[in-house]
């Protein structure tokens, strides 16, 4: 059960649909370094303080007016979404009237003024930022939790060939696989590429790894929902082997079965899988995305579940790569809402209809490309550009 959210990836930076607090901008904070604040406090005159208080009232009034307008807008977005979901359950036709057709309000009032004489207050220690585990952490967890080390490919082309074989057999088209890879990795990513991390001195921005940038929660969920297929496929391959190769594959198969059993210890729910993924055992499961036998299956089913979902909802036309990417990024239900929309409606419906406020306001791509048609167009443009890069050409050749 995939979430309605847009995650982080090289294609769209900082896209998110999950609810949360409205981000505070630098202009709103009014905070200064303590040394600067101390100097200003000593120099602040009664006139400066009075002027500050006047500007603060103006800011607060303007901000309150905007928040009321924005609250009304985003409440309408949520209400329209609920109405669309109800119509789809009843197999009723969704029309333009089922969307908010205006763009979100934008705050254009004064910035929060800086206090020339900030009150003395004890700085509250900020909680340390939770570090994002890296590929090495996932591999270490697999060794510690399941006594297993993922079998890495001898060359990157070996992984691409394994992925192409499984993806084609499962029903993905070369166009879907290559263009989504191009978008997700920038057209040159390896099987162990992690979002944001490019070696010492860089920082991962998520746990997303591989050709289709699976998060730890994706790996846990796919193991829980598709694990029986993975076990069956690996068992069939194991039966063809003998000697040391058979022994190694027997061990891998036994570990895979244990991982599948672990992921099914909680309800089939994204939130439950997310909690499971943020454990040493969950990290270990995610390490399987690196394995040359299991990794291609995980990568394939990350996309295939969207294809199957669309078919189950009666959408029989083959998904374009950009449409598949919308479902891959936003979750199947939200993505299908965009995919099934006629072109004339795509030109008119704002992208805000598919976001919650917090995600939209952190998302410059959706703000700039503020209709469904524009968002799909920029996705296609990025796919076109990155498909000419070496990694994408290699993957196309593997098919």
Q: pLDDT tens for residues 12-22? A: 543 333 333 33
**Neighbouring residues of 134: CB distance < 8 A, sequence distance ≥ 6:** 194, 197, 204
The answer to whether 149 touches 143, Cβ cutoff 8 Å, is yes
Express each pLDDT in 256-313 by its tens digit. Answer: 999 999 999 999 999 999 999 999 999 999 999 999 999 999 999 999 999 999 998 8
List the one residue out of 6, 327, 95 whose CA is nearest residue 319: 327
User: Given pLDDT bands bounded at 50, 70 and 90, which one contains residue 128?
Assistant: confident
Share of the chain above pLDDT 70, in %: 87
Angle (CA) 8-13-19 rounded to 5° is 60
And the tokens for 328? 């891959």
Burial class (CB in 10 A: 0-12, 13-18, 19+), 399: middle
pLDDT of residue 393: 97
What average pLDDT does the segment 248-256 reach?
A: 97
The answer to whether 15 touches 359, Cβ cutoff 8 Å, is yes
Q: How far apart are CA 215 and CA 286, in angstroms?
A: 8
DSSP per residue, 80-146? HHHHHHHHHHTTPPP-GGGS--SPPP---SPPPPPPSSPPP-PPPPPPPPPPPP-HHHHHHHHHHHH
Burial class (CB in 10 A: 0-12, 13-18, 19+), 169: exposed
Instruction: Report the residue count for the chain.
Output: 399
And the tokens for 380? 């296609």
> Does the domain spanning 135-398 belong to CATH 3.40.50.10800?
no
Does residue 349 sit in helix, strand or coil?
coil
The answer to whether 204 touches 134, Cβ cutoff 8 Å, is yes
φ, ψ for residue 120, nearest 5 deg: -65, 125
Instruction: Name the average pLDDT for the chain.
Output: 88
List the one residue out of 53, 66, 62, 64 whose CA is nearest residue 114: 53
Range(s) within the chain of domains with CATH label 1.10.530.10: 135-398
Of 196-200, 237-241, 284-288, which range is least confident?
196-200
User: Given pLDDT bands bounded at 50, 70 and 90, which one contains residue 173?
Assistant: very high
Longest dimension (CA), the chain: 88
Instruction: List 214's β-bridge partners, or say none.
Output: 209
User: Given pLDDT bands bounded at 50, 70 and 90, which one contains residue 24?
Assistant: very low
pLDDT of residue 129: 74
What average pLDDT does the segment 364-369 reach?
A: 90
């Amino acid at each position: 059960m995939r979430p309605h959210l847009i995650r982080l990836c090289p294609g769209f930076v900082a896209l998110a649909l999950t609810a949360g607090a409205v981000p505070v901008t630098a202009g709103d904070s009014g905070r200064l370094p303590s040394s600067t604040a101390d100097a200003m406090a000593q120099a602040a005159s009664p006139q400066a303080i009075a002027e500050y208080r006047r500007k603060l009232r103006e800011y607060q009034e303007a901000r309150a007016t905007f928040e009321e307008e924005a609250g009304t807008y985003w409440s309408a977005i949520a209400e329209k979404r609920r109405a669309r979901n109800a119509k789809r359950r009843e197999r009723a036709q969704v029309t333009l009237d089922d969307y908010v057709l205006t763009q979100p309000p934008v705050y254009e009032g004064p910035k929060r003024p800086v206090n020339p004489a900030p009150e003395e207050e004890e700085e509250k220690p900020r909680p340390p930022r939770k570090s994002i585990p890296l590929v090495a952490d996932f591999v270490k967890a697999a060794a510690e939790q399941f006594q297993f080390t993922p079998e890495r490919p001898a060359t990157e082309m070996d992984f691409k060939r394994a992925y192409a074989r499984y993806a084609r057999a499962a029903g993905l088209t070369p166009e879907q696989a290559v263009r989504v890879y191009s978008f997700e990795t920038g057209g040159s990513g390896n099987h162990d590429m992690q979002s944001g991390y490019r070696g010492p001195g860089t920082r991962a921005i998520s746990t997303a790894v591989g050709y289709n940038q699976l998060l730890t929660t994706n790996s846990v969920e796919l193991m829980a929902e598709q694990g029986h297929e993975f076990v069956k496929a690996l068992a069939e391959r194991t039966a063809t082997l003998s000697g040391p190769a058979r022994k190694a594959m027997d061990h891998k198969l036994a570990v895979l079965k244990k991982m599948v059993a672990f992921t099914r210890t909680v309800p089939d729910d994204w939130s439950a899988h997310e909690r499971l993924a943020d454990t040493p055992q969950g990290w270990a499961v995610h390490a399987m995305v690196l394995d040359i036998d299991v990794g291609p299956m995980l990568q394939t089913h990350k996309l295939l579940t969207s294809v199957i979902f669309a078919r189950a909802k009666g959408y029989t036309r083959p998904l374009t790569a950009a449409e598949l990417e919308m479902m891959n990024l936003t979750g199947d239900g939200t993505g299908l809402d965009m995919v099934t929309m006629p072109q004339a409606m795509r030109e008119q419906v704002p992208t805000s209809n598919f976001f919650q406020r917090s995600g939209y306001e952190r998302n410059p791509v959706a703000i700039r490309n503020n209709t469904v048609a524009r968002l799909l167009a920029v996705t296609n443009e990025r796919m076109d550009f990155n498909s000419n890069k070496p990694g994408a050409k290699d993957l196309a050749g593997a098919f």
